[in-house]
């Protein structure tokens, strides 16, 4: 059968993730140190795993409300109020989702009509553009620059706005650059959003892993923004819970209701075992998050120092667990650099272009890897860079 005729044009038009493509080269090679996949090397803290086990022991094996357990929504409401200084009603303004991935997809599908324009900043998380396309909307890229530490500038967003602009996706701290935004930058962007009536999808998945300033600083707190922001947050990164697939969205009731309509038909509800674990994470998980964050910060400082010493110009990222060194001086494309590094020194890092065309000339290295492995990876990278001629 010719399946290409069967698959929808929309899905057919979407490329596979550049990260996955690259990592297929690594599968089955245990000599490789991977700085690739954006996943904590920590196990989920034991008391959180225990809460999941206990929930199963109690026989909690049913569906929950489509919105998620009310007890979890109450915990989310309290946590978000403390962390982001913004209040949401657990009954009507919070939806528990299957990771931020589902929350992002629901938000885009709930908001977009065919050909509405969705603005987002690149380099960015690999799912944004395909998710926009799958919502039948049009992705509009705003490039960020090294000289701005990869923080998107309001003026650049302004240039991208047209009468069809409807949504702006913001992600701070940013995957893959680790960028964070200043209050002034967020204020300027907020003014634009109010002026042009844009809804913001604020992907705050790395917020707890912010190493400078207030981790809870968000566009959400800027004047006029609570009513036009969907806060997307989750447990994967800060709580080291990627496998639990837990996330949530907070927004005004009409927006949550629209997202819930899709969620109830597509997923029904998030898994109850993961919801039980999420309550424990929010109620008692913060000390473990702070401990992991301290370890990430130490690794960040080490990796940035080593990269700069070996001649790979690397800014100090303010958050997340990625560094994004500039490799342009060696005259190789990001893909060539990453491939040669893998072949010659068995270190896997992701070409910057996996995160958008303007990632050319950069490499993403995830430092959520054991410190002794990072030391070996840096030694190997130094040896590799030493063999390259500067362009």
Shortest distance in whole angstroms from residue 63 CB to ligand PLP: 21
- Does 203 contact ligand PLP by CB under 6 A? yes
Q: Within a 10 A sphere around the Cβ of 161, how many other Cβ atoms? A: 18
Shortest distance in whole angstroms from residue 99 CB to ligand PLP: 3
Identify which of residues 90 and 319 has a Cβ nearer to ligand PLP in the complex. Answer: 319
- Does 247 contact ligand PLP by CB under 6 A? yes
Answer for the pair 35, 349: CB distance below 8 angstroms, yes or no. yes
- Does 289 contact ligand PLP by CB under 6 A? no
Identify which of residues 125 and 211 has a Cβ nearer to ligand PLP in the complex. Answer: 125
Q: Within a 10 A sphere around the Cβ of 50, how many other Cβ atoms? A: 14
**Position of minimal CB gap to ligand PLP:** 99
- Does 18 contact ligand PLP by CB under 6 A? no
> Binding residue for ligand PLP (CB under 6 A) from 234, 285, 317, 356?
234
**Which residues face 120 on adjacent strands?**
141, 169
Q: How many CA atoms lie within 13 A of 78 on its CB side?
A: 10
At a CB cut-off of 8 Å and minimum separation 6, what does 19 contact? Answer: 36, 37, 126, 350, 354
- Does 129 contact ligand PLP by CB under 6 A? no
- Which 36-55 residues touch ligand PLP, going by CB under 6 A? 38
- Which 333-352 residues touch ligand PLP, going by CB under 6 A? none
- Does 173 contact ligand PLP by CB under 6 A? no
Calculate the alpha carbon distances from 63 to 66, 246, 267, 340 in Å: 8, 15, 11, 49
- Does 248 contact ligand PLP by CB under 6 A? no
Cα distance between the two ends of the chain:
50
Write out the two tokens for 328: 């342009």
- Which 152-171 residues touch ligand PLP, going by CB under 6 A? 171
Shortest distance in whole angstroms from residue 321 CB to ligand PLP: 10
Q: Within a 10 A sphere around the Cβ of 254, how many other Cβ atoms? A: 11
How many Å separate Cα 366 from the centre of its chain?
A: 13
What DSSP assignment string belongs to 68-81? Answer: --HHHHHHHHHHHH
Answer for the pair 145, 286: CB distance below 8 angstroms, yes or no. no
Shortest distance in whole angstroms from residue 317 CB to ligand PLP: 13
> Binding residue for ligand PLP (CB under 6 A) from 52, 180, 205, 238?
205
Report d(CA 292, CA 284) in Å as an integer: 14
Helix (H) or strand (E) holding 255: helix 253-266
Stretch that binds ligand PLP, among 1-9, 75-83, 96-104, 375-383 (CB under 6 A): 96-104
3-state secondary structure of 25: coil
Report d(CA 323, CA 371) in Å as an integer: 15
Stretch that binds ligand PLP, among 94-102, 273-281, 304-312, 371-379 (CB under 6 A): 94-102
Identify which of residues 174 and 346 has a Cβ nearer to ligand PLP in the complex. Answer: 174
Identify which of residues 77 and 236 has a Cβ nearer to ligand PLP in the complex. Answer: 236
Answer for the pair 281, 247: CB distance below 8 angstroms, yes or no. no
Shortest distance in whole angstroms from residue 106 CB to ligand PLP: 12
Shortest distance in whole angstroms from residue 234 CB to ligand PLP: 4
- Does 100 contact ligand PLP by CB under 6 A? yes
- Does 175 contact ligand PLP by CB under 6 A? yes
Question: Given the rule CB under 6 A, which residues bind ligand PLP?
Answer: 38, 99-101, 125, 171, 175, 203, 205, 234, 236, 242, 247
């Amino acid at each position: 059968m010719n399946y290409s005729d069967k698959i929808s044009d929309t899905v057919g038009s979407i490329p596979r993730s550049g990260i996955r493509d690259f990592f297929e080269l690594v599968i089955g090679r245990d000599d490789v140190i991977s700085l690739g996949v954006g996943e904590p090397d920590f196990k989920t803290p034991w008391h959180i795993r225990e809460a999941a086990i206990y929930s199963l022991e109690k026989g909690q094996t049913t569906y929950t409300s489509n919105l998620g357990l009310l007890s979890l929504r109450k915990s989310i409401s309290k946590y978000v109020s403390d962390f982001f200084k913004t209040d949401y009603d657990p009954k009507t303004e919070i939806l528990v989702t299957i990771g931020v991935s589902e929350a992002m997809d629901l938000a885009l599908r709930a908001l977009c009509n065919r050909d509405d324009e969705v603005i987002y900043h690149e380099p960015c998380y690999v799912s944004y553009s395909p998710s926009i396309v799958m919502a039948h909307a049009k992705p509009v890229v705003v490039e960020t620059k090294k000289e701005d530490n990869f923080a998107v500038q309001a003026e650049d967003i302004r240039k991208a706005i047209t009468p069809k602009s409807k949504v702006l996706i913001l992600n701070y701290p940013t995957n893959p650059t680790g960028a964070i935004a200043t209050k002034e930058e967020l204020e300027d962007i907020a003014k634009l959003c109010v002026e042009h009536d844009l809804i913001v999808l604020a992907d705050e998945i790395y917020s707890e892993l912010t190493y400078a300033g207030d981790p809870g600083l968000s566009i959400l707190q800027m004047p006029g923004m609570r009513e036009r922001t969907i806060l997307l947050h989750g447990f994967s990164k800060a709580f080291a819970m990627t496998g639990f697939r837990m996330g949530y969205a907070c927004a005004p009731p009409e927006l949550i209701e629209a997202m819930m309509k899709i969620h109830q038909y597509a997923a029904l509800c998030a898994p109850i075992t993961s919801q039980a674990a999420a309550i424990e994470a929010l109620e008692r998980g913060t000390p473990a998050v702070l401990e992991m964050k301290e370890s990430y910060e130490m690794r960040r400082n080490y990796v940035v120092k080593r990269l700069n010493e070996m001649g790979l110009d690397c800014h100090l990222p303010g958050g997340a667990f990625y560094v994004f060194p500039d490799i342009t001086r060696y005259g190789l494309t990001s893909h060539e650099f990453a491939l040669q590094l893998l072949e010659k020194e068995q270190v896997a890092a992701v070409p910057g272009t996996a995160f958008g065309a303007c990632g050319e000339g950069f490499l993403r290295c995830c430092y959520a890897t054991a410190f002794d492995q990072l030391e070996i990876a840096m030694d190997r990278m130094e040896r590799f860079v030493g063999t390259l001629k500067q362009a």
